[in-house]
Structure 1
Amino acid sequence: MRFSVFLNARSMSPAEDGRLITDLIGHAEHAAAQGFEAVFMPDHHFNGYMPVASDSFILAGYLAARLPDMHFGFSVVSVPLHHPVRFTERVNVLDHLTKGKLLVGVGSGTTPEEMIGFNVNYKDAGTLAERNLALAEELWAKRMDDPAVTIDNGPYQGRVLQRITPSSYGEQHARLMPVAMKESSARRAAKHGWPAFIPAFTPPKIGGTEPFTHVKKYFDIYKGLLLEAGHSEAVIRDALSWTTHTYQLVHVAETDEQARDEMMTILRSYQDAIEREAEFNARAESDEANTKTDRTPNALTEDWIGTWCLHGSPETVIEHLKPYAELGIGNVLCGTTTGPLTEERLRLGNQTLDLMGRKVIPALKGA
C-alpha cells in the first residue's frame, strides 16, 4: 500500500494566497521526508480552493525539480475546462519533468461556478469531457505527416497540422486515472492498463457511514475489467499499485479522542469556508443549464465524516485501512491540509504527516 498527500488547502483572502503557496511547498517536502510517495493536487478556479489549483501543472513542475523521486498526480483535472491542445501539451511537458512519474486524474468537474467562468454549461460537462479526452488521444497519436486533427467541441476549436510537442516521455503518454464511478470510465482505465480512483459513495447520495461497501463494489468492477483486458502481469500490478481511494481529510493524533476533537475543529473551519462560497455557487446555478442534481452533506455530519474522513490514533488508522489493503487498494490519498490553512492548521497537518510516517506507513507499506 502506497500513501500520497493531497494539497487541498483553502485561502480565505487575497492576502493569504502567497503564504499558502509557500506553506504547501514546505508541506509537500515534509511529506516526502516522511515516506509519502506522491503529491496530488486539485484543479479548481475562483473560489479560494488552493490558489495554485488554478494552474497546478505549474506547481507540479516546480515541485518535480525539488522532489525528483516523488510521483505527481491530479485529483482531478476538470477536463471540460481545458482546451485539448493545452491539456496534451501540459501533460507531456510534466511527463518529461517527472521522468514518467505522472498520474493524471481526469473527471468532468463538480462546480457550476467554475464552468461558467470558462463558457461551459454544467449540464454539458460530461459530454465535453468525453470528447476532449477522445481528441487528446488523437493529438497524442498524431505524427507529423498525418492528416490534421480538427477540434470542434463546444468552446474549443482548432486544427492541428503538425504534432504535439514535446512528445510523450515514454512509448505511451502519461497514465490517466479516471474516476471509476461509471462503467465507461472503469472500462477506459482497464483497457489502457491505467489506475483508477475508487469512490466511497454512489450518487445521488454523496456520503454515508458504510464507505467500504461502495469502495468494494467499484473496485471489483474495475479489477475485473482490468484482468479481462489481457495486459501483462507487470501492467496489472502497476495499475493496481496506484489504484486510489481518497480521503478529503486525514487527521492522526496520539489518541482517538484527541484526533476527533482536532478533526472537528478543522471541519468547523472547513464548513465555514464552504458556506461563505455558497452565495457564489447559487449565482452560478441561476439557470437550468447550471443546476447541480446532487448535494454533498454538511461536513459536520456523520454522513460526510463517514465517507470523506480518516481519523484516530495511528493504531486506529492502521486497523481502519487493513480491509482496504486486503481488498487491493494500492494508494491512499490523504488530504492533510483540508480547510483554511492557518498556522495552527498547518501544525496539525504536519502532526499527521509525522505520525503517519513513523507508525502508519511502515505498518501498511508492504500490505
Structure 2
Amino acid sequence: MRFSVFLNARSMAPDEDRKLIHDLTAHATQAADLGFDAIFLPDHHFNGYMPVASDSFMFASYLAAKLPQMHFGFSVVSVPLHHPVRFVERINILDQLTDGKLLVGVGSGTTPEEMIGFGVNYKEAGAISEANLAIAEQLWAKQMEDPAVEIDNGPHKGRVLQRIAPAQYSSGHARLMPVAMKETSARRAAENAWPAFIPAFTPPQIGGTEPMKHVAKYFGVYRQMLDEAGHSQEAIARALDWTTHTYQVVHVAETDEQAREELEIILRSYQDAIEREAAFNARAESDSANKKTDRTPNALTEDWIGTWCLHGSPETVIEHLKPYEELGIGNILCGTTTGPLTEERLRLGNQTLRLLSDKVMPAFKAKVDA
C-alpha cells in the first residue's frame, strides 16, 4: 500500500503566504526523502486554503523539478473553474515534465464562494464539469486536420482549430481520478482503468463514526465495474495501485494519548479558520443558484474526527489501516499540515511524517511501481 502527502495547509493573512509556500516546499521535500510515494495538491481560491493552490499546476511543476522521483496528484481539480483548453494544456505539460507520474483528481467543486469568483453558478457546477470533461476528451483526441472543437459551456467559450500543444506523454492522456461517489464518476474511472478516490461518507451527512461502511460500499461498486470493463489484469492492478482513500488530518505520536491531545490542538485551530471563512461563504450563498445543500460538522465532533482523521500511536494507526489494505485500497492520502501552518503545526506535521515513515509504512506490503 502506498502513502502520499496532501499539502492542505492554510494561510491566515497575506503576509503569511510566502512563508507557507516555502514551508510546504520543505515539507514535501522531507516527505520525498522519507519514502512517500506522491505529493497531492488541492485546487482552491480566495479563502487562504493552501493559497498557492490557486494554481496547483504551477506549484506542482516547481516541485516536480525538485523531486523528479515523485508522483504528483490533485485532490481534486474543481473542473468547472477551468477553461477546458487550459485544463488540457496544463495537464499535458505536467504529464511531460513528470514522465507520466501524474494523477489528476477531478470533481465539480464544493464551495460557492469559489464558483462565483469564476462566473459559475454552484447549481450548474455538476453539468459544467461533465461537459468540460467531455470537451477535454475531444481536445486530447484532436489531430491537426480534424474539424474544430467548439466550446460553449457556461462561462467557457472557444473554437480550437489545430491541436493541443504540447502533446500528452501518457497513452491517451494522463490518468484522471474521479471521486467514486456518483455512479457516473465510478463508471468513468472503471471504464478507463483509472484509479478513483473512495469516500468515507454519504451526503448529505458529511461525517460519522463508521467510515469503513461507506468506503467498502463505494469501493465495492467501483471494483465490480472495473472487473466488468474488460481490462487486462495488469490494467486493473495499475488502477487499484493508486485507488485512494483520503484523511484530511493524519497525526501520529508515540502514544495514543499524546496523539489525541495534539490532534485536538490541530483541530481547534482548523475550526477557528473554518468559522472565519463562514461569513464569506454566507455572502456567496445569498441567492438560490449558489446555495449548498449539505453541511460539514464541527471538526471537534466525533463525527468529523471519525470520518476525516487518522490518529494514534504507530501501532494504532497500523491496526486501523489493515482493513483498508485488505479491502484493496492502494494509496492512503495523508493530510499532514491541515489548518493554519504555524511553526508548531509544521513541527507536528513533520513528526507525523517521520513516524509514518519509520514505523507505519514498513508494516505494509511493498509498493508496485506504476
TM-score range relative to shorter protein: over 0.9
CA–CA distance in structure 1, aligned partners of residues 364 and 164 of structure 2: 41
Are 1:150 and 2:172 counterparts? no
Partner deviation per Cα, 1:302-350 (whole Å, 9 max, x = no partner):
0000000000000000000000000000000000000000000000000
CA–CA distance in structure 2, aligned partners of residues 171 and 51 of structure 1: 32
CA–CA distance in structure 2, aligned partners of residues 280 and 204 of structure 1: 22
CA–CA distance in structure 1, aligned partners of residues 364 and 70 of structure 2: 19
SS in 1 for 2:198: coil
SS in 1 for 2:133: helix
Runs of 4 or more, structure 1, over 2 Å off, are none
What does residue 112 of structure 2 align with? 112
SS in 1 for 2:3: strand
CA–CA distance in structure 2, aligned partners of residues 77 and 365 of structure 1: 30
What does residue 332 of structure 1 align with? 332
Deviation at 1:180, TM superposition (A): 0.3
SS in 1 for 2:294: coil
Please tell me the residue identity of whatever aligns with 2:239. A
CA–CA distance in structure 1, aligned partners of residues 35 and 249 of structure 2: 18
Deviation at 1:149, TM superposition (A): 0.2
What does residue 11 of structure 2 align with? 11
Deviation at 1:33, TM superposition (A): 1.1
Deviation at 1:366, TM superposition (A): 3.1
What does residue 184 of structure 1 align with? 184
Are 1:27 and 2:27 counterparts? yes
SS in 2 for 1:45: coil
What does residue 244 of structure 2 align with? 244
Deviation at 1:35, TM superposition (A): 1.2
Are 1:348 and 2:353 counterparts? no
CA–CA distance in structure 1, aligned partners of residues 89 and 7 of structure 2: 23
What does residue 270 of structure 2 align with? 270
The TM-score, its normalising length taken from structure 2, stands at 0.99
Extract unaligned runs of 5+ from structure 2.
none
SS in 1 for 2:152: strand
What does residue 174 of structure 1 align with? 174
SS in 1 for 2:292: coil
Deviation at 1:256, TM superposition (A): 0.1
What does residue 210 of structure 2 align with? 210
Please tell me the residue identity of whatever aligns with 1:253. A
SS in 2 for 1:74: strand
CA–CA distance in structure 2, aligned partners of residues 177 and 169 of structure 1: 17
SS in 2 for 1:105: strand
What does residue 197 of structure 1 align with? 197
CA–CA distance in structure 1, aligned partners of residues 232 and 72 of structure 2: 24
Deviation at 1:232, TM superposition (A): 1.0
CA–CA distance in structure 2, aligned partners of residues 306 and 213 of structure 1: 12
Please tell me the residue identity of whatever aligns with 1:46. F
Deviation at 1:170, TM superposition (A): 2.4
What does residue 220 of structure 2 align with? 220
CA–CA distance in structure 1, aligned partners of residues 145 and 363 of structure 2: 53
Deviation at 1:234, TM superposition (A): 1.1
Deviation at 1:233, TM superposition (A): 1.2
The TM-score, its normalising length taken from structure 1, stands at 0.99
What does residue 53 of structure 2 align with? 53
CA–CA distance in structure 2, aligned partners of residues 107 and 280 of structure 1: 22
What does residue 63 of structure 1 align with? 63
Please tell me the residue identity of whatever aligns with 1:271. Q
Extract unaligned runs of 5+ from structure 1.
none
What does residue 99 of structure 1 align with? 99
Please tell me the residue identity of whatever aligns with 2:159. R
Q: Superposition RMSD on alpha carbons, in Å?
A: 0.6
Please tell me the residue identity of whatever aligns with 1:284. A
Deviation at 1:364, TM superposition (A): 1.3
Please tell me the residue identity of whatever aligns with 1:280. F
Partner deviation per Cα, 1:75-112 (whole Å, 9 max, x = no partner):
00000000000000000000001100000000000000
CA–CA distance in structure 2, aligned partners of residues 321 and 182 of structure 1: 25
Please tell me the residue identity of whatever aligns with 2:35. G
CA–CA distance in structure 2, aligned partners of residues 261 and 246 of structure 1: 22
Partner deviation per Cα, 1:164-217 (whole Å, 9 max, x = no partner):
000010222000000000110000000000000000000110000000000000
CA–CA distance in structure 1, aligned partners of residues 169 and 163 of structure 2: 15
CA–CA distance in structure 2, aligned partners of residues 229 and 354 of structure 1: 40
Q: Within 5 Å, which residues of 2 pair with 1:131-150?
A: 131-150=131-150
Deviation at 1:272, TM superposition (A): 0.1
